[in-house]
Structure 1
Amino acid sequence: MSPATASTSGIPFGPAASAPVAGASSSFALAFVLLAAAFAVLWLIRRRGYGAKRLSASAAEDGWSVVQRIRLTATSQALVLRDGRDSLIVVESRHGVRLMRLDAKDSRE
């Protein structure tokens, strides 16, 4: 094989060389669509409040029950929890959770 024929026969510069680029762009588009769909599902779950329902369900297993739920703002709420003799108020917001014990005189008012 001569050096002139070896250098011209092994380099593909045709439509076959550009096919992987089109495949990569469609892969990125598919990944973007799937990621956007996952974020949309998580946003809907958060918007409908399924996290708060899970919290109240796990509290009920331990004997605690939600007596009252008050929505304070769009991102915060207060819950009054009771297990028979003890009462707690839980205030949750985007910045954190605060737990306080209710006294007997507070629960009568």
Structure 2
Amino acid sequence: MRRTKDWCASSDSQNGVVLSANRTTRSVALTAAGDRYLVHCQSILDRLELAKAEAAGLCAKPVGRLRIGVDSTFDAHHLAWLIHSFQERYPEVTVQTSLVREFGRGFK
């Protein structure tokens, strides 16, 4: 792990601006430029966390279309209730049903 003093010196030389002053072994005081830089860096890190959370949310939440093929002997009342419950829970999913005579031939 790099020491804080080394990091501060490296950051100062990379940015061409002194970001910290009054460096001791126990503390580092930021300059006005360092304070502004810190605010921007924190904003970037916050936005990165938000982007990661949104990406995870998109992957975790079902979206799209669910196609169900049912036999004519299936009780349509139970299916309607299940579809309604499913769509209340996952409103971003559209459900398409089809009556099929032979399994596997309901959709093209």
User: TM-score of the superposition, structure 1-length normalised?
Assistant: 0.37
| TM-score, scaled to structure 2 | 0.38
Structure with more of its chain in strand, by fraction: 1
Q: Radius of gyration: which is bigger?
A: 1
Higher RCO, 1 vs 2 (CA within 8 Å, ≥6 residues apart): 2
